[in-house]
Amino acid sequence: MASAPSKLYADDVSLLVVLLDTNPFFWSTSSLPFSKFLSHVLAFLNSILVLNQLNEVVVIGTGYASCKYLYNSSSYSNHGLEDGRMPALCTRLLKNLEEFVIGDEQSIKEDPRGGTMSSLLSGSLSMALCHIQKVFRSGSLHPQPRILCLQGSPDGPEQYVAIMNAIFSAQRSMVPIDSCYIGSHNSAFLQQASYITGGVYLKPQQMDGLFQYLSTVFATDLHSRTFLQLPKSVGVDFRASCFCHKKTIDMGYVCSVCLSIFCKHHKKCSTCGSVFGETPVELDSVSKQKRKTPE
Amino acid sequence: MNNGENMRLNGEADEEDDDDDANGGLAAWERTYADDRSWEALQEDESGLLRPIDNKAIYHAQYRRRLRSLSSLATTARIQKGLIRYLYIIIDFSRAATEMDFRPSRMAVVAKHVEAFVREFFDQNPLSQIGLVTMKDGVAHWLTDLGGSPESHVKALMGKLECSGDASLQNGLELVHGYLNQIPSYGHREVLILYSALNSCDPGDIMETVQKCKTSKIRCSVIGLTAEIFICRHLCQETGGSYSVALDESHFKELLLEHAPPPPAIADSAMPNLIKMGFPQRAAESSIAICSCHKEAKVGGGYTCPRCKARVCELPTECRICGLTLISSPHLARSYHHLFPIIPFDEVTDKVLHDPRHQTPKVCFGCQESLMNPGNSPGIRVSCPKCKQHFCLDCDIYIHESLHNCPGCESFRRPKLATYDE
């Protein structure tokens, strides 16, 4: 297991990787317009960069059909205000964002398909983790990385395995995944991601005050978090989605060979090809047998 | 001043003389070469010039070879791994374990690494169980029952660190055989023996015991700490296990941790079956409920059985009320990367890189690191055969060893939705 390298950087310097949900299907139905959401987020990102001059911000766009790096504060030398007008962050980010959203919509038109409304969270999470590994490799002096998911679209069950893999990798390298979910229902994926990696999951009640939620909960560095009363989890949805219909279930059957989950009894495992003979058993028969033996 | 320098030189010479005696008569300049082997870090290039070897490239080439051999194994047979394992670890605490050739002693080294192994094992095999058995004074002692909690095993082991008498391979196997015979047919039965002694003090014919293990489909593996012994090799060959002898502590650790990932399932060693399980939800941090396992009121963070709605504190467990196996989906998901392994990336050849028709990406798709050489020519890179994105070598290793996702494939919606049904 690869452990995170020792962190010798000042503990209040952060690298914030923001995963921005740009899914047009969600934003066309959302009560909060995308432009308003963006103005909250831009103000928040600027405040992160102002909090400490060594802080770094990376923004990755999570679209419906693609993901892309939109902004990296360390790759441009930040001059702050240009001619007293918009800061560099806004212009660069907005320009890349616009290109990205147009390209994303293009690919939707090429391949129109109803049904799924989810965005590609697994892709942007994987990209964020690769970027963070690069920061770890850069030497013993590096900012403390964390990931913030600004997500609104519902979960895509077909991404379950990929997202779980990313979560465990983040847990191994001790990178917390924070999530701010602005959709209507809670996101089980993000709840699990934040719970397993020790991040904060928040579902803001009032969208008008999004900036306040962001700046009070997600702006502080990891060290200072220990002194804060951050929102506690209101329960985590640990239900699994079955492999056969991608339904979320709370009780089901598990293949003893490969641990695939099914919502009803099958004759053959679709993942590993094992043929199940008998009626399903419950695992507790083991312990019943065990109890009979004298100890 | 001259004098002083002379004195110092003399002093050094004396020291060197002393060292020479210890180092078998090598002169100081010889020793520096013998220790560093600096010539091995050089290689000759096309024009005959000596250049330092690019270690990174070599390391990566080795890594890719390993990856390829693994993937060829995986494609020849369908991926069936023994994911539900019942493993007994038999630890030799006989007189031989007090030997000091491992520091501070074999016993301490074994105990230290078994602790790490137990934790790693449960990380990789969420539904599996471990039991501990020790051998000393010619008999086998049962230390812990098969169980899924790493803490209880480690505690029991650390409380019993003493060695005496002889080791008995037969007694150990007989004891474990009795327990493993009762486990359900879908479980994989395994024994891992950490053997320090060079002899075995048995009450009967050990060959019979070996045959008994074979018929019960118990896979026995041995890691020796001293030297290879015939009976251990015979046992492993008969039961399909692996036999290895540790050279030193780090080698021992490596050999031990090789047993943590699930082994490929041996044909008909276990009957496949479907097991009914529940996936409870975690309650809010501020809720108060009486848990069924400790029978006391607790604030926050419990799990609710989906069948009978009883509250339990920890997962994985089985419900005290209705007997349903309760597990959280992340427990299961930890092993899914074994099932959906990510295909090895291909090295991008120079021909493709210098083909003007192809547009070669300038940065790694994963981490945005530049893929160009200092002279602005395309550098070494790999590409995913599925999504054709280019990655740097560091990302390649990270993606295959830790992430188990291809960022490129995950970042583009593919025409077909059925991603994991193949």
Q: Above pLDDT 70, what percent of chain A?
A: 84
The DSSP annotation for A118-151 comes to: ---HHHHHHHHHHHHHHHHHT-S--PEEEEEEEE
For β-strands B288-290 and B297-299, DSSP reports them as antiparallel
Contacts of A235 in chain B (CB under 8 A): 281-284, 287
- Residues A17-34 have pLDDT tens digits of 999 999 988 998 888 999
> How confident is the model over B216-241, as a mean pLDDT?
92
Contact A176, A144 (CB under 8 A): no
Round to whole Å and give the CA distance between B240 and A145.
Answer: 45
Round to whole Å and give the CA distance between B90 and B220.
Answer: 10
Contacts of B80 in chain A (CB under 8 A): 257-258, 272-274
Residue B260: what pLDDT?
A: 87
pTM listed for this prediction: 0.75
Q: Which of A122, A258, A282 sits opposite B83 (nearest CB)?
A: A258
What rounded mean pLDDT belongs to chain A? 82
pLDDT band at B303 (very low <50, low <70, confident <90, very high): confident
Q: Above pLDDT 90, what percent of chain B?
A: 24
Contact A170, A138 (CB under 8 A): no
Q: Is the pLDDT of residue B207 over 50?
A: yes
Mutation site for B-interface testing, chosen from A56, A171, A258, A292 by largest number of B Cβ within 10 Å: A258
CB contact under 8 A, A123 and B273: no
Residue of A151 and B77 predicted with greater confidence:
A151
pLDDT band at B309 (very low <50, low <70, confident <90, very high): confident
CB contact under 8 A, B184 and A64: no
Residue B70: what pLDDT?
A: 63
> Among the listed ranges A73-82, A203-212, B160-169, B312-321, which one has the minimum average pLDDT value?
A73-82
Q: Which of A195, A272, A282 sits opposite B324 (nearest CB)?
A: A282
Please name which of B385, B395, B386 lies closest in space to residue B365, comparing C-alpha atoms. B395
Residue of B356 and A206 predicted with greater confidence:
A206
Q: What residue of A is the nearest CA neighbor of B414?
A: A65
Q: Determine the distance in angstroms separating the CA of B50 from the nearest CA of chain A, rounded to an integer.
A: 29
Contact A145, A135 (CB under 8 A): yes
CB contact under 8 A, A252 and B399: no
Q: Which of B281, B368, B369 sits opposite A239 (nearest CB)?
A: B281
Contacts of A280 in chain B (CB under 8 A): 273-276
> How confident is the model over A290-295, as a mean pLDDT?
39
Contacts of A281 in chain B (CB under 8 A): 184, 186, 273-276
Question: What ipTM was estimated for this complex?
Answer: 0.84
How far is the CA of A168 from the CAs of A195, B195, B299, in angstroms?
Answer: 11, 34, 28
Q: Determine the distance in angstroms separating the CA of B91 from the nearest CA of chain A, rounded to an integer.
A: 20
Q: Phi, psi at residue A281, to the nearest 5°? A: -110, 160
Q: What residue of A is the nearest CA neighbor of B405?
A: A162
- Residues A83-139 have pLDDT tens digits of 544 566 778 889 999 999 999 888 887 766 666 788 999 999 999 999 999 998 887
Q: Which of B187, B277, B415 sits opposite A254 (nearest CB)?
A: B277
CB contact under 8 A, A282 and B330: no
> How confident is the model over B173-186, as a mean pLDDT?
87
Contact A196, A171 (CB under 8 A): yes
> How confident is the model over A250-254, as a mean pLDDT?
86
Tokens describing residue B406: 């291809």
Contacts of B126 in chain A (CB under 8 A): 259
Contacts of A170 in chain B (CB under 8 A): none
> How confident is the model over A210-230, as a mean pLDDT?
91
Round to whole Å and give the CA distance between A148 and A202.
Answer: 11
Residue B11: what pLDDT?
A: 45
Q: Above pLDDT 70, what percent of chain B?
A: 81
3-class SS at A250?
coil
CB contact under 8 A, A259 and B336: yes
Contacts of B339 in chain A (CB under 8 A): 258-260, 271-272
Contacts of B328 in chain A (CB under 8 A): 238
What rounded mean pLDDT belongs to chain B? 80
Q: Determine the distance in angstroms separating the CA of B271 from the nearest CA of chain A, rounded to an integer.
A: 8
Q: Is the pLDDT of residue A293 over 50?
A: no
Q: Is the pLDDT of residue A66 over 60?
A: yes
CB contact under 8 A, A289 and B182: yes
Residue A169: what pLDDT?
A: 92
CB contact under 8 A, A167 and B330: yes
- Residues B280-296 have pLDDT tens digits of 888 777 778 888 877 88
Residue A193: what pLDDT?
A: 93
Q: Is the pLDDT of residue B271 over 60?
A: yes
